[in-house]
Structure 1
Amino acid sequence: MDNSCEKKYKKFEEMAKLFEVLSNPIRIGIVASLAEGPKKPKEIRKELGVPQPLLSQHATILREFGIIEKVDRFNVKSPCRIKDERILGILKAAGLKLK
Structure 2
Amino acid sequence: MDETCQKFYEKYNEYARLFEILSNPIRIGIIVMLAKGPKRPKEIREKLGVPQSLLSQHASILREMGIIEKVDRFNVKSPCRLKNPRVLEILKAAGIEF
TM exceeds 0.5? yes
Q: Which aligned pairs between 1:15-34 and structure 2 lie closer than 5 A?
A: 15-34=15-34
* Partner amino acid, structure 2, of 1:72: D
1:29 & 1:58 partners in 2: Cα distance? 10
Structure 1 residue 9 displacement after superposition: 2.7
2:8 & 2:14 partners in 1: Cα distance? 13
2:8 & 2:29 partners in 1: Cα distance? 33
- What is the match of residue 62 of structure 2? 62
* Partner amino acid, structure 1, of 2:27: R
1:79 matches 2:72: no
Structure 1 residue 65 displacement after superposition: 0.8
SS at match of 1:81: strand
Structure 1 residue 8 displacement after superposition: 2.2
- What is the match of residue 11 of structure 1? 11
Q: Which runs of 5+ in 1 are unaligned?
A: none
Q: Which runs of 5+ in 2 are unaligned?
A: none
Structure 1 residue 5 displacement after superposition: 1.7
Which stretch has the larger CA shift, 2-11 or 12-21? 2-11
Equivalent pairs counted in the alignment come to 98
1:3-29, Cα deviation, whole Å (9 max, x unpaired)? 112112311000000011111100000
Runs of 4+ in 1 over 3 A off after TM superposition: none
TM-score when normalising by structure 2: 0.97
1:93 matches 2:93: yes
Which stretch has the larger CA shift, 74-83 or 7-16? 7-16
2:66 & 2:86 partners in 1: Cα distance? 11
